[in-house]
Amino acid sequence: MLGGMAAPLTPDLSFLLDHTSHVLRTQMTAALAEIGLTPRMHCVLAHALGEERTQIQLAEIGGMDKTTMVVTVDALEKAGYAQRRLSSTDRRARIIAVTPSGAEMAARSQEIADGVHAAVLDALPEDERAVLVRALTRLAQGHLATPAEAPGVRRARQ
């Protein structure tokens, strides 16, 4: 017993998942910064490429609030990577269209994101890689699929 408290009976999954997620986000942010993108910019480009999606749909995919999404799309427009356009199927809706230079940037940023993810998996013995991905996928689609409703709980990225 440390300081009168019993040692926990199970591993601290909250710490392990929070810590590894935080470090992975910092690594991804640093890697994408080398080409002048943020992870949010990468997310918007990747999900707007090849399919008409509205700003609202892209915000939901990226777990962004309206203000953050507007700032992100503004930055993509300023860089010449995306444009707000009227939807070809619904004239009331505005979509985010990826420009040709945005498509090139999306390909580069996807290579970078894939490399960051591969480096994480490469840090594990080969027999543990598929197990980790399978276990995390099962949790994300099952037991940890839906956030609890509680005061002070933020909506997480989907």
- Residue 90 included in any domain: yes
Mean pLDDT across the stretch 35-51? 95
Question: How many structural domains are present in the chain?
Answer: 1
Q: Is the pLDDT of residue 33 over 70?
A: yes
| Dihedral sign of CA atoms 46, 49, 55, 56 in order | negative
| Contact between residue 96 and residue 53 where contact means Cβ atoms under 8 Å apart | yes
Answer whether residue 19 is part of any domain: no
Q: What is the per-residue pLDDT across 91-108, written as a single tens digit (0 to 9) for each?
A: 888 899 999 999 999 999
Q: Decide if 68 is inside a domain.
A: yes
For 151, list phi and psi in degrees, rounded to 5.
-60, 135
Q: Which domain holds residue 91?
A: 34-115
Q: What is the pTM for the complete model shown?
A: 0.84
The CATH number of whichever domain residue 40 belongs to comes to 1.10.10.10
The answer to whether position 104 is within a domain reads yes
Asked if 44 contacts 82 with a C-beta cutoff of 8 angstroms, the reply is yes
Distance between CA 32 and CA 69 in Å, rounded? 18
